[in-house]
Amino acid sequence: ISSVFLSSDDSAEFNLVNNALLSIFKMDAKGTLGGLFSQILQGEDIVRERAIKFLSTKLKTLPEEVMTKEVEEFILTESKKVLEDVTGEEFVLFMKILSGLKSLQTVSGRQQLVELVAEQADLEQTFNPSDPDCVDRLLQCTRQAVPLFSKNVHSTKFVTYFCEHVLPNLSALTTPVEGLDIQLEVLKLLAEMSSFCGDMEKLESNLKKLFDKLLEYMPLPPEEAENGENAGNEEPKLQFSYVECLLYSFHQLGRKLPDFLTAKLNAEKLKDFKIRLQYFARGLQVYIRQLRLALQGKTGEALKTEEASIIKVVALKITNNINVLIKDLFHIPPSYKSTVTLSWKPVQKADASQKRASEDTTSSSPPKKASAGPKRDARQIYNPPSGKYSSNLGSFSYEQRGGFRGGRGRGWGGRGNRSRGRIY
């Protein structure tokens, strides 16, 4: 196999070699896999790279009679050995390989994958927010885990880690990816995971950490001077994207402890929170008016322009989401019944993750495929119009900004720091 992968750099000839290897694979799948994994673990870098790419692209094309349960179990066993020392790019490729296996489409199978990702993320280790590789690694592992979560495959371990270790250090986070809003990236991932959090051991403590972080982004109204005008030079800027993520996460976890805002906080603290909610709600109404003015008079082709469509779809969705969540929290007692779709998630008739969750089964039968929505990589960057309330609305395309630096053993970068290729 080593000589096969090193035989030529000519694309046509290399394709012929790949096809020949596929033919051998169909005759003796386990034997071929044994040779491939041997080269991945012990071969030269170029051989390892090509062997991994061969598995990630070709396994999914093989018929069921070749990809038997025994063969898939062999792939999982050998992959675990490789995952002890991988680069970031290799880790993502192996997650692609494993998540495509029929035997891992069940609840128990996806749970195994989540545990693999959690091990790679090193959630037992101390989190170092000033180490960009540590931050990068956690985020990329979390991105791999998010699509696996459902009502039966819980995100509790990841949500707990984010609440206990990442949120308190949010302002100290560093990233090697230029231009990435690392804080917003973290808050988005937390929001996506919060929907599938199970029973949390330190729920009240972690909910308080989340609540305290939410207060940081929900300012009190500025004090008024004697003439009735603002005493300060300008009103605080409202960071809608951050607040959407934090409010949503608090809303999701808060329903697990519905008396948190009433029984666990003193009256003054609850009063303070409602003042902040009220001030933020007023700011939302001002911003919504700005958005509508920006769209006023635009019809036909003008409304199809990228800027106008993004303003209409994304910005209004953020503000509407926040409005809905704030109204829930203004109930006496606070309500956690409303359902919203996060602004950066594609709008579908049935949310893919919820559809999959309803099809979860402990049997060996794979769930039906959810209808395909827009690819994550296809998300657009949102640039809000200028204005007092809109300058911090944020941008939404983060997967393409960079990747992590792989693995355990000899460190992310893996294989003795041989290659730190970035992904996404």
Length of the chain: 424
pLDDT given at position 13: 66
- Mean pLDDT along residues 86-91: 92
Q: Are 316 and 288 in contact (CB under 8 A)?
A: yes
Indicate the DSSP class of residue 50.
H
pLDDT given at position 99: 94
pLDDT in tens, 171-196: 999 988 888 899 999 999 999 999 99
Is pLDDT at 90 greater than 90 in this prediction? Answer: yes
pLDDT in tens, 276-289: 999 999 888 888 78
Q: 291-305, 354-368, 370-384 — which is least confidently predicted?
A: 370-384
Distances in whole angstroms, Cα of residue 106 to Cα of each of 80, 95, 109, 177, 284: 19, 15, 5, 35, 42
pLDDT given at position 317: 87
Is pLDDT at 32 greater than 70 in this prediction? Answer: yes
As a dihedral over the C-alpha atoms of residue 219, residue 220, residue 225, residue 228, rounded to 10 degrees, the angle is 100
Q: What are phi and psi of 260, to 5 degrees?
A: -60, -45
For tokens 């937390």, name the residue.
190
Which two structure tokens, joined as six digits, stand for 132?
Answer: 């960009």
Work out the percent of the chain whose per-residue pLDDT is above 70: 70
Is pLDDT at 161 greater than 60 in this prediction? Answer: yes
pLDDT given at position 394: 38
- What would the DSSP string read from start to end of 236-284? PPP-HHHHHHHHHHHHHHHTTSTTHHHHSS-HHHHHHHHHHHHHHHHHH
Average pLDDT score, the chain: 78
Greater model confidence, 401 or 57: 57
**How confident is residue 330, by pLDDT bands cut at 50, 70 and 90?**
confident
Greater model confidence, 269 or 128: 128
pLDDT given at position 313: 61
**How confident is residue 291, by pLDDT bands cut at 50, 70 and 90?**
confident
In whole angstroms, give the CA distance from residue 177 to residue 165.
Answer: 21
Residue type, 12: A
In whole angstroms, give the CA distance from residue 262 to residue 254.
Answer: 11
pLDDT given at position 8: 57
pLDDT in tens, 337-367: 999 999 998 765 544 444 454 444 444 444 4
pLDDT given at position 336: 93
What element of type H or E holds 128? none
Q: Are 329 and 277 in contact (CB under 8 A)?
A: yes
pLDDT given at position 19: 79
Residues whose CB falls within 8 Å of the CB of residue 67, separated by 6 or more in sequence, listed in order: 29, 59, 101, 102
Q: What is the pTM of this model?
A: 0.78
**How confident is residue 421, by pLDDT bands cut at 50, 70 and 90?**
very low
pLDDT given at position 406: 43
